[in-house]
Structure 1
Amino acid sequence: MPKYLLTLPTLLTLLSLATPPALAAEAQKRIVPTVTLTVKQFSELEEDWLQAVRQHDTDALNRLVADNFELRTSAAPGRPTARAEWLKQAQAGAPFDSRIEQMAVHEYGQLMVVSFLWKLDVPKTSPLPQQVFVIDTWKQGDNGWQVLTRYAAPVQAGAKAVPGAEPGPPAVDKKI
């Protein structure tokens, strides 16, 4: 009989001790988000809206953007941009790629409040910000969903926390 006999439990213990702690920590940090049906639905609507602007598709914009639409920004919170001016500005600029991340959808009957981080693929020298926090209010109508109001604020690196907000990155519930 060999002098050193390793049992399976002993071998597994030794292997787990040999695994670098960084790999174990990295495995714990990976979180796979679950997309709800409403997030999927409004991700598609928001993407349709972005595509309509990029392609200057007036029919799609008329279908998605309500007649009484307004844009409100953090730079001028008391001075909304009406639909006609927004359309003129949106279609005047050069098209750019962008993506939506971190979407949340809150349902209030026929109203949906959709918030997300909008990442713009624009040069750092562009007057447009790299990231914008957006809140869109959508309403269900006879012809589908239309956006009524967009609230938008550039995301600034190093910005201070908002009063009442939890500081730092969001807490992750590790319960499964």
Structure 2
Amino acid sequence: MALAVAGAVLLIGTASAAEPASPPPRQRVVTMTRFVKVFNDLEYDLMDALRGGNKEAVDRLLAAEFEQRNAARPGEPVPREEWLKSGDLPIAADSEIWELAVHDRGDLAIASFRLKGKEREWFLVDVWRRKSANAYELVTRYASPIAAAATAAPAKPDPKR
């Protein structure tokens, strides 16, 4: 009996050793580019200026002709002054920027990102215009709220369909 148990242990140990070790899962290393750093800072600077009521900073960062386009009403742009007075500004102290991508288009830079707050989450696309070598102003914002269900991982497609 002991011989049978020892043989089984040896057989199981040999089978386990024969299986190739699976490689460790690859992890994506995300390196922040210079442009992502610049626009991450600009987006937070704008939120800080709005939250703190810093009119000078808001005027520096927000173009005079700024407008926001909302996904629910894309044909009704919200002009700068109306947007500044609205209670719908994403300026909560707990707001965080996620998944920021920036596309350089010469005099324009397009920043898209998720803005996560305690109560709401948005997908924003901001169009920034270059004012000088190191200065930009926000010209247009496209905003769409993200539903709570949309933040969960998408279901895998059914291969039978």
TM-score by length of structure 1 reads 0.67
| Distance 1:168-1:113 versus aligned 2 partners, 3 A rule | farther
Aligned counterparts, 1:26-65, within 5 A: 28=25, 30-65=27-62
Residue 90 of structure 1, CA deviation: 5.0
Alpha-carbon distance, 1:57 to partner? 0.9
Total equivalences in the alignment: 136
- One-letter amino acid of the counterpart of residue 123, structure 2: F
Q: Percent of pairs identical after alignment?
A: 37
Q: Could you tell me which amino acid in structure 1 is paired with residue 143 of structure 2?
A: A
Separation in structure 2 between the aligned mates of residue 55 and residue 121 of structure 1, nearest angstrom: 19
SS in 1 for 2:117: strand
Change (3 A) 1:147 1:168: farther
Contact residue 95 and residue 117 of structure 2 kept, 8 A: yes
* Inter-partner Cα distance in structure 2 for 1:168 and 1:62: 44
Gaps of 5+ in 2: 1-15, 157-161
Q: What's the secondary structure of 1:116's corresponding residue?
A: strand
* Structure 2 Cα separation of the partners of residues 79 and 92 of structure 1: 17
1:79-98 alignment runs, 5 A limit: 79-90=76-87, 95-98=92-95
The residue type paired with residue 99 of structure 1 is E
Q: Post-superposition shift, 1:31?
A: 2.4
The answer to whether the Cα contact below 8 Å between 1:56 and 1:91 also exists between their aligned partners in 2 is no
1:105 to 99, 102, 105: 102
2:66 equivalent among 56, 69, 73? 69
2:137 aligned residue: 146
SS in 1 for 2:78: strand
Unaligned runs of 5+ in 1: 1-12, 123-129, 160-166, 170-176
Once residues 94 and 67 of structure 1 are traced to their aligned partners in structure 2, the CA distance between those partners, rounded to angstroms, is 20
Provide the C-alpha distance between the structure 2 equivalents of 1:93 and 1:115, rounded to a whole number of angstroms. Answer: 15
Provide Cα deviations, 1:87-107, integer angstroms capped at 9, x if missing partner. Answer: 111598984420001011011
Instruction: Call closer, same or farther: CA 1:53–1:168 in 2, change over 3 Å.
Output: farther
8 A contact 1:105–1:114 mirrored in 2: yes
State the alpha-carbon separation in 2 of the partners of residues 68 and 77 from structure 1: 17
Q: Residue 156 of structure 1 aligns with which residue?
A: 147
Query: TM-score, normalized by length of structure 2?
Result: 0.73
C-alpha distance in 1 between matches for 2:46 and 2:155: 32
Please tell me whether Structure 1 or Structure 2 has the larger radius of gyration of its CA atoms. 2
